[in-house]
Amino acid sequence: MALRPILTYPDPRLREKALPVEHFDSELKQLVEDMAETMYDAPGVGLAANQIGVLQRVFVIDIADENEPSDLKVFVNPELIALDGVLVWQEGCLSFPGVSEDIKRAERVTVRAQNERGEVFELEAEGLMAVAIQHENDHLNGVLMVDKFNAIKRRLIGKKVARATTDAP
C-alpha cells in the first residue's frame, strides 16, 4: 500500500471524466488499497480515483465513526439507479482543503456497482452514505462541489483553497 497525493482545486485533472474499469486484476486491487490508505490518512470518508489522478470509475467510502471498526465500501463502475427525497448536508472534500458548505442532494440513493473482484451489487443508502455516494460519483463525472455554488461563492472558495494549500506544511 502507498499514500498517493490528492489533487486540489483548481487542478484541471479533477474535471476529467473517469473511464470504466475493464480489468479486475492485481493493479485494481492495489489502486483500491492505495485509495483506502490515502483516504484514511487525509482523513476523509470518501475518495474517488480521479482525485489521485487515476481516470478510472472507482471510489471508496468509509463512514464508520472513529470508535467503530472500519466499514470500507468499494464502488467500481458505479451507476446511480434511483434518487429520492431532498436533504441539505454540510460537505467537505479532500480536494478542497479547509472548505465545507451546505449542498442539496438526494436523501436516499440506490447504486449499482461492482466490487474490486468484479462482482455486481446494489446498495440502498440514506443520510451520510447517500451523500458520500453522490459526492464521489460526481467526481467520477468531473463534477465538483464548487459547481453547486453561484459565481461569487465559487471565487471565494477558490481563494480559500489557495490559502489553505499555501498555509499547509
And the C-alpha cell for 161?
A: 483553497
Cα–Cα distance for residue pair 146/144, rounded to 1 Å:
5
21 three-class SS: coil
And the C-alpha cell for 31?
A: 489502486
Q: Amino acid identity, residue 47?
A: L
The residue from 68, 116, 122, 136 that is catalytic is 136
Edge-to-edge strand list for the sheet holding 108-114: 46-48, 58-61, 73-84, 108-114, 120-126
Residue 136 falls in the annotated catalytic set: yes
Q: What is the distance in angstroms between the CA of the first residue and the CA of the last residue of the chain? A: 23
Q: Which of 124, 78, 128, 86 is nearest to 105 (CA)?
A: 86
Strand partners, 74: 60
Query: Catalytic residue positions?
Result: 136
